[in-house]
Amino acid sequence: MNAEPMNVTGEPMTGKGEVLLAVENVSLRFGGVKAISDVSFDIRKGEVRAIIGPNGAGKTSMLNCINGFYHPQEGRITYKGARRDKMKPHRAAAAGIARTFQNVALFKGMSTLDNIMTGRTLKMKRGFFWQALRHGPAMQEEIEHRRVVEDIIDFLQIEHIRKLPVGKLPYGLQKRVELGRALAMEPELLLLDEPMAGMNLEEKEDMCRFILDVNNQFGTTIALIEHDMGVVMDLSDRVVVLEYGRKIADGTPDQVKSDQKVIDAYLGVAH
Amino acid sequence: MSDVAARPAPNLLANGWIKAGLILAGLVVVALVGAQLDGSGTFYKVFIDPFQQMVAAPDLLAQTIWEGLVSGVLYALIALGFVLIFKASGVFNFAQGIMVVFAALTLVGLHEKGVPAWLAVILTLGVMFVLAVTIERVVLRPLVNQPDIILFMATFGITYFLIGFGESLFGGNPKQMIADELYLPKGAIDLQIFGGLVSLQKIDIAAAVIASIMIAALALFFQYTRIGRALRAVADSHKAALSVGISLNQIWVIVWFTAGIVALITGIMWGARSDVSFALEIVALKALPVLILGGFTSIPGAIIGGLIIGIGEKLGEFYWGPLIGGGIESWLAYFIALGFLLFRPQGLFGDKIIERI
Amino acid sequence: MFYREAGQFKSTYAADMAVFPIRQDRIGIAVILLLAFVGVPLIGNDFFTSTVMIPFLVFSLAAIGLNILTGYTGLISLGTAAFMGVGAYAAYKLTTFFPGVNIIVLVLVSGLFSAAIGVLFGLPSLRIKGFYLAVATLAAQFFLQWAFVRVPWLFNYNASGAIEVPQRLFFGIPVTGASASPETRYFVCLVLVVVLTWFASNLVHGKLGRSWMAVRDMDIAAELMGIKLLNAKLLAFAVSSFYAGVAGAMMIFFWYGGGEAADVFNIRLSFNILFMVIIGGLGSLIGSFFGAAFIASLPTILKFGLPALGVPLSGATAEHVTFMLVGALIIVFLIVEPHGLARLWQIGKQKLRTWPFPY
């Protein structure tokens, strides 16, 4: 059974052994509707973990549970060895979990620069009164973080839209800014919810490159939801497949690809 | 925690800010109440004495509840106008209160100029229709697709304009409603119950009856006519309604006109009880807590919310008001609504809010 | 031609992050400050200073306060006047208890009281949003307005129910009371407004301002970025009410000089300040000044302007016409430029930048 979470046989890489986040028997209900039932899987340090499944399979709800936006009724979520299935979203952020959203959730009234700077909020320590003065330590801190943000802007090649309000940018660029905002948090675990939805081929290739670079250069662990199978198979180390809130497969891309249940879920099966 | 998973309400006491705030709130309330009460028997006066009074004099209680019911009906009628417009156009129509005054003023003003009463009613309806068309043309159409707050502010503009317009046409002095000419009943029925007298004004009874008839008529209109169906479609989604060929502009005129009719009836009832003046404008703000209770999109909510607020504030004023100097009617309604909001943010009849991202 | 940043290179992040990165803007601000500090007292007469400039400054400060709450954090409030009232009464009580303490210090301290009350009434903002919150702030408006009338302790048990502002000296010069000259009062207001505007500008350009705007634009995402929603919202309420409170105290002490304070801080004032913020431009400090200038001066302009144009108006009619015009102008403004005067200003600057060769 390749539904076992522990039977990974993917190419062993350095640092990809430790479990960073473990989801155990998690169930989530909205009123009478079960969004997730009894799902278990883990995410290991340094890997790219894909969550796939047909629409309405509970993928986004799963991410929402992981970063504390929803609280599951049953099951446990363990992150870096500590149980945290009832954690608040801002705690999750402080613990190093960042994410992007299916429908771009940028701060539309702010510039690209300011959007990415909000990602540094948790790292900025100066109090209210220094901020009111905006001189001395507060200004130094701003400049320090501005440097980090400029590095991210360079990395994502969005220098030209630095000062533009993000609401008016094309969709592909908005997705890129959103990635930048998540990166600014210097996360250990980066959750990407359909980072390539609605993009053309070229934009997808760019985004793939950024994701791989983030994974390689910064060693960031990545969990992503994606519908483009080609992308998933190329990028990810391991894939978990959900259908109707249940896990139906878990393993390397090759294992998952040949799993009969997965094929049935995607192509439909005569009952 | 039952099965409500989505966004469990934040535990209010877990937060230091909230705790500090609540302690501060407690202190302020204690200080305010303490400053007003005699040193002795605070607890008795607040928690026991009022109820003893209620039991001892049930006729007074009944009278108070009746008064509350009547003002509740009027709040509900104003709230109803809000709800109609909010449902159909997503506009938070601040001008509903002033539309009530304006309609009543127009009616009385026309009658003063020598127009027979019933003709004046028809003419006033015509004026309200013209108003609806004008608002749609001049305000709503150019502002379509703007954020809610812009439309909200635009209705402020309408309010100011109507105040100035109404005053320059009819003058700012309070006027007498033409209740007799419209065959509205006068006088009171005195009921011998609970060993005392409860006096019901006939006009109040008429108001309640007319309000019920109107609400029933509106419900039937929405449920069974083509326009009603289109209206409900628009309320659900503007874009989807447009795509099946419903004319938004036409719907808006109809809805604002309907709100205008509701305003006229409210104005007649209100005017018959007191007089027609711009003081009503502030009273009309009471419809807002009613909306909070009932939810912005629910007609039954507006009615029940109106009654709760009306009765709650009369009881509060009569039994507890004197303890802290009286006049608490001016804010009690808001606090009832606010307290309620903390437990049901979506209102009495609103849907449960599930946040998604 | 004259307004162009060509050739002004920024070599440090500090220069790039300045509030006015363009040299011409800095010159403009310097000229405006010079005019305000030197020009107005030299040219303006007492009438102009006390009926135009002081109200303008007071309303600007209140509008900045509300703009922080509504424009930057996205929380609509209809209770600004009540918070101004808290500031006014707090300043009055403080100066009664501590007559020796400098009145300007007390005016600032009274803002803290207003901030505390603001936080209290901001608590529901955790659970309710949008118009629901607007209605909740009406609770503050009506409750506090009631308290101003019904709690005689607040106005020192005066039989008239009014505040009587005592005379207070500042380095030997009377700054409040009947003998304070309009110029003195104007200077005090001006200094307070300039300093507080500078603080506000620093706050909205820094981390806190970004958190506020993040909450405004997409609160859920902000929370997932590690911004604590409650703290950000309550801080916005606190800062906003502080500004409103100081404005209210200024209003009574440096403008009205006392009187019918309970009637001043009514719901209509709350609405007027909201107008200023919206017409000036949500989320723009400079817009707050524009809005205050526009709304505060409109009745005066109409009152004196229309007769000058040959439209004879009696007092009562003038008032009605003013109402109609204000209403109509609000609608026209919203239609022409829903983003307010601040946006018009920006567009104007952009035009000027490319003038006279726009292509």
Q: What is the pLDDT of residues C206-224, one digit of tens each?
A: 899 999 999 998 888 898 8
- Give residue limits of the domains in chain A: 1-96+187-271, 106-186
For range C59-74, the mean pLDDT = 94
Which residues, including other chains, have CB under 8 Å from residue B308's CB and lie 6 or more apart? B72, B293, B336
The number of beta carbons lying within 10 Å of the beta carbon of residue C313 is: 15
More confident call, A168 vs A266: A168
Count of domains forming chain B = 1
pLDDT at C158: 76
Mean pLDDT throughout C44-52? 82
The H-or-E segment that residue B200 falls in is strand B196-201
CB contact under 8 A, C135 and B147: no
DSSP sequence for B233-283: HHHH-HHHHHHTT--HHHHHHHHHHHHHHHHHHHHHHHHHHS-BSTTHHHH
- Restricting to A residues 227-266, those with a Cβ less than 8 Å away from any Cβ of C are none
Q: How far apart are CA B74 and CA B201, in angstroms?
A: 15
Q: Mean pLDDT over all residues of chain A?
A: 85
Q: Does C299 touch chain B (CB under 8 A)?
A: no
The answer to whether A96 and A162 are in contact (CB under 8 A) is: no
Task: Closest CB to A69: pick one of B1, B352, B357.
Answer: B357
Question: Rounded distance, CA B352 to CA B344, Å?
Answer: 9
Yes or no, beta carbons of C226 and A147 under 8 Å apart: no
Q: How far is A73 from chain B (nearest CA, A)?
A: 7
As to burial, measured by CB atoms within 10 angstroms (0-12 exposed, 13-18 middle, 19+ buried), residue C351 is: exposed
pLDDT confidence bin for B34, thresholds 50/70/90: low
Give the integer Cα–Cα distance in Å for B279 and B289: 18
Strand partners, A238: A49
Q: Which of C13, C199, C213 lies nearest to residue A143, judging by beta carbons?
A: C13
| Cβ <8 Å between A30 and B5 | yes
Residue C308, pLDDT above cutoff 90: no
DSSP string, A6-35: T---SPP-TT--SEEEEEEEEEEEETTEEE
On whether residue B136 sits in a domain, the answer given is yes
CA distances from B193 to B187, B197, B199 (A): 19, 6, 10
Residue scoring higher pLDDT (C304 or C204): C204
Q: Is the pLDDT assigned to residue B342 strictly greater than 60? A: yes
In this prediction, residue C358 carries a pLDDT of 65
The reply to whether residue A70 touches residue B3, judged by beta carbons under 8 angstroms, is: no
In sequence order, the β-bridge partners of residue A224 are A50, A192
- How far apart are alpha carbons B187 and A153 in whole angstroms? 78
Q: Is B27 exposed, middle or buried (0-12, 13-18, 19+ CB in 10 A)?
A: exposed
Backbone dihedral angles phi then psi of residue C212, each to the nearest 5 degrees:
-60, -50
What is the average per-residue pLDDT within A212-216? 92
Out of A17-31, B144-158, B232-246, C305-319, the most confident range is A17-31
Q: Which residues of C lie inside 8 Å of A (Cβ-Cβ)?
A: 12-14, 17, 199, 202-203, 205-208, 210-211, 213-214, 216-218, 220-228, 235, 283
The alpha helices in chain C, defined as continuous H runs, are 13-16, 23-34, 40-43, 46-48, 54-66, 80-97, 103-122, 130-150, 182-205, 207-217, 219-224, 229-250, 261-264, 267-280, 285-308, 315-336, 340-354
With a cut of 50, say whether residue A10 has pLDDT above it. Answer: no
Q: Which helix (H) or strand (E) holds C164?
A: strand C163-164
Q: Which residues contact B348 (CB under 8 A, 6 or more apart)?
A: B293, B294, B295, B298, B301, B304, B305
CA angle centred on A13, ends A7 and A15, rounded to 5° = 95
Contact between residue B202 and residue B187 where contact means Cβ atoms under 8 Å apart = yes
pLDDT surpassing 90 at residue C60: yes
| B354 neighbourhood in chain A, CB within 8 Å | 30
- CA distances from residue C191 to B38, C49, C242 in whole angstroms, order as listed: 45, 15, 16
Residue A39 is predicted with a pLDDT of 92
pLDDT at B69: 87
> If you average pLDDT over residues B88-93, what whole number do you get?
80
Smallest CA–CA distance, residue A120 to chain B, in Å, is: 22
Q: What is the pLDDT of residue A51?
A: 93
The arithmetic mean of pLDDT across residues C111-140, rounded, is: 86
Question: Which residue's structure tokens are 């040299």?
Answer: C23
Which element (helix H / strand E) includes B302? helix B299-315
Of C211, C220, C228, the CB nearest to A118: C211
Number of other CB atoms surrounding residue A45 within 10 Å: 17
Alpha carbon separation from A17 to A221, B106, B351 (Å, rounded): 12, 81, 46
| Tokens read off for C87 | 């500031």
| pLDDT given at position C25 | 80
- pLDDT of residue A90 exceeding 80, the answer is yes
Phi-psi region of A194 (alpha: psi -120 to 50; beta: other; left: phi over 0): left
Per-residue model confidence (pLDDT) at position A1:
34
What residues of chain B lie within 8 A of the CB of C271, using their CB? 156
What is the arithmetic mean of pLDDT over A212-221?
Answer: 91
Q: What is the pLDDT of residue C165?
A: 80
Contacts with B157 from chain C: Cβ below 8 Å: 326-331, 334
Query: Rounded to a whole number, what is the largest CA-CA distance in chain C?
Result: 69
**What is the rounded CA–CA span in Å between residue C29 and residue B82?**
45
Interface contact flag, C335 B10, Cβ < 8 Å: no
Query: Is residue B152 over pLDDT 70?
Result: yes
Name every residue whose Cβ is closer than 8 Å to that of residue C81 and which is 6 or more positions away in sequence: C141, C145, C248, C264, C265, C266, C267, C268, C269, C270, C273
A12 touches B at CB < 8 Å: no
Residue A14 has pLDDT above 60, yes or no: no
Structure tokens at B329: 């009617």
Chain position carrying tokens 């900025």? A124
Res A8 pLDDT > 50: no
Instruction: Write out residues 91-150 of B within 8 Å (CB-CB) of C.
Output: 92, 138-139, 142-143, 146-150
For residue B341, give the nearest of C128, C230, C319 by CB distance. Answer: C128
Indicate the pLDDT class of residue B32, thresholds 50, 70 and 90.
Answer: low
Note whether residue B328 is domain-resident: no
Asked whether the beta carbons of residue B167 and residue C136 sit closer than 8 angstroms, the reply is no
| Nearest of B325, A45, B56 to residue C154 by alpha carbon | B325
C220, A105: Cβ pair inside 8 Å? yes
HSE-CB for C156 with a 13 A CA cutoff:
16
Asked if B153 and C135 come within 8 Å (Cβ–Cβ), the reply is no
State yes or no: pLDDT of B5 exceeds 50: no
**Of residues B17 and A183, which shows the higher confidence score?**
A183
The dihedral region occupied by A131, where left means phi > 0, alpha psi between -120 and 50, and beta the remainder, is alpha
Closest CA to C341 of C262, C280, C250: C280
Measure the CA–CA gap between B61 and B35, rounded to whole angstroms: 28
Cis peptide preceding B58, ω within 30 of 0:
no
Confidence check: pLDDT of C153 > 50: yes
Q: Which amino acid is at A31?
A: G
| Average pLDDT score, chain B | 79
Under DSSP, the state recorded for C127 is: T
| Distance (Å, whole) CA C190 – CA C178 | 19
| Spatial separation of the C-alpha atoms in residues A93 and A185, rounded to whole Å | 8
Q: What's residue A174's pLDDT? A: 92
Q: How far is CA B333 from the centre of its chain?
A: 11
**What does the H/E/C string look like for A214-257?**
HHHHCCCEEEEECCCHHHHHHHCCEEEEEECCEEEEEECHHHHH
Q: Does B27 touch chain C (CB under 8 A)?
A: no
Asked if B18 has any chain C CB less than 8 Å from its own CB, the reply is yes
Predicted model pTM: 0.87
Task: Using pLDDT thresholds of 50, 70 and 90, give the confidence band for residue B350.
Answer: low
Level-2 CATH architecture, domain A1-96+187-271: 3-Layer(aba) Sandwich (3.40)
Q: Are C90 and C97 in contact (CB under 8 A)?
A: no
Do A21 and A5 contact (CB within 8 A), yes or no? no
- Interface test with chain B among C322, C331, C333, C341, by most B beta carbons within 10 Å: C331
